[in-house]
């Protein structure tokens, strides 16, 4: 069954485009750094660790820009009902806060850092963890809202993808928190899946028609 999407106003369409490009931009910049920065290992280091070191400003900027783009588009994303814009706004604000409040160096990154964690966790690292958690919870909830909306519309494929994206982030986050093997990798995979799915739906809404 197809899902009819109402044509957004031109301004709303532009805002939705900002939301649509947020995740691909963040993912590209993050993975490019992960592949090139000395000492970084995605199986051991979360992508947010790229916010540390002399080049940390790149990932900090990446978080903030992505968050701003999400906030710009959040209010125009009405497809999932009234809760969705609020959830996306929390998701975007959390991204900005996670960028402004970087984690502590540790686990051998940046290169030359001790393998042990810091003797005392800094206030900004605590803020980073809190902001990231809130942002991820909002993103998981947004995926669930989209899943229910697509299910009501009879679009089982999109509903399934929405729930898979949200579950991937939830599972990756829980696995990383439990200290599972390559937890940072599963967390990155889940976060990227959920972020890209929301951006994909935003792109779909910004280009109306029958899908």
C-alpha span between 107 and 117 (Å, rounded) = 6
* Residue 104 CB contacts under 8 Å (≥ 6 apart), including other chains: 52, 117, 118, 121, 122, 125
C-alpha span between 16 and 71 (Å, rounded) = 10
Query: What stretches of the chain show up as alpha helix (H) in DSSP?
Result: 10-36, 56-74, 83-100, 123-152, 156-177, 183-206
Residue 12: the pLDDT is 80
Residue 210: the pLDDT is 42
C-alpha span between 40 and 105 (Å, rounded) = 11
C-alpha span between 203 and 134 (Å, rounded) = 24
- For the entire predicted model, the pTM comes to 0.90
Q: Does residue 132 sit in helix, strand or coil?
A: helix
C-alpha span between 142 and 199 (Å, rounded) = 12
Residue 81: the pLDDT is 65
Instruction: Confirm if 143 and 163 have CB atoms less than 8 A apart.
Output: yes
Q: How far is CA 179 from CA 29, 34, 118, in A?
A: 26, 20, 17
- pLDDT digits (tens), the chain, 211 positions: 455 445 555 578 889 999 999 999 999 999 999 999 999 999 999 999 999 999 999 999 999 999 999 999 998 887 756 899 999 999 999 999 999 999 999 889 998 888 877 778 999 999 999 999 999 999 999 999 999 999 999 999 999 999 999 999 999 999 999 888 889 999 999 999 999 999 999 998 887 554 4
Residue 119: the pLDDT is 77
Taking the mean position of all CA atoms in its chain, how far away is CA 206? 20
> In the numeric block, which tokens belong to residue 195?
């972020």
Compute the CA torsion angle 183, 191, 64, 138 (nearest 10 deg). -110
Q: Where are the domains of the chain?
A: 8-103+121-210
């Amino acid at each position: 069954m197809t899902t009819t999407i109402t044509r957004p106003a031109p301004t709303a369409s532009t805002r939705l485009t900002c939301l649509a490009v947020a995740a691909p931009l963040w993912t590209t910049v993050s993975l490019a750094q992960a592949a090139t920065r000395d000492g970084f290992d995605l199986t051991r280091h979360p992508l947010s660790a790229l916010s540390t070191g002399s080049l940390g400003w790149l990932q900090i900027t990446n978080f903030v820009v992505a968050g701003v783009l999400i906030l710009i588009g959040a209010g125009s994303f009405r497809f999932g009902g009234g809760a969705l814009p609020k959830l996306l706004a929390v998701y975007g604000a959390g991204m900005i806060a996670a960028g402004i409040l970087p984690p502590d160096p540790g686990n051998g990154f940046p290169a030359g850092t001790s393998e042990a964690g810091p003797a005392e966790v800094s206030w900004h690292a605590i803020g980073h963890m809190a902001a990231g958690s809130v942002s991820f919870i909002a993103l998981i909830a947004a995926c669930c809202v989209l899943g229910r909306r697509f299910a009501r519309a009879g679009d089982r494929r999109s509903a399934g993808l929405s729930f898979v994206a949200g579950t991937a982030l939830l599972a990756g986050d829980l696995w990383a928190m439990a200290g599972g093997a390559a937890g940072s990798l599963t967390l990155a995979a889940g976060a990227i899946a959920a972020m890209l799915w929301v951006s994909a739906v935003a792109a779909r809404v910004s280009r109306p028609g029958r899908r």
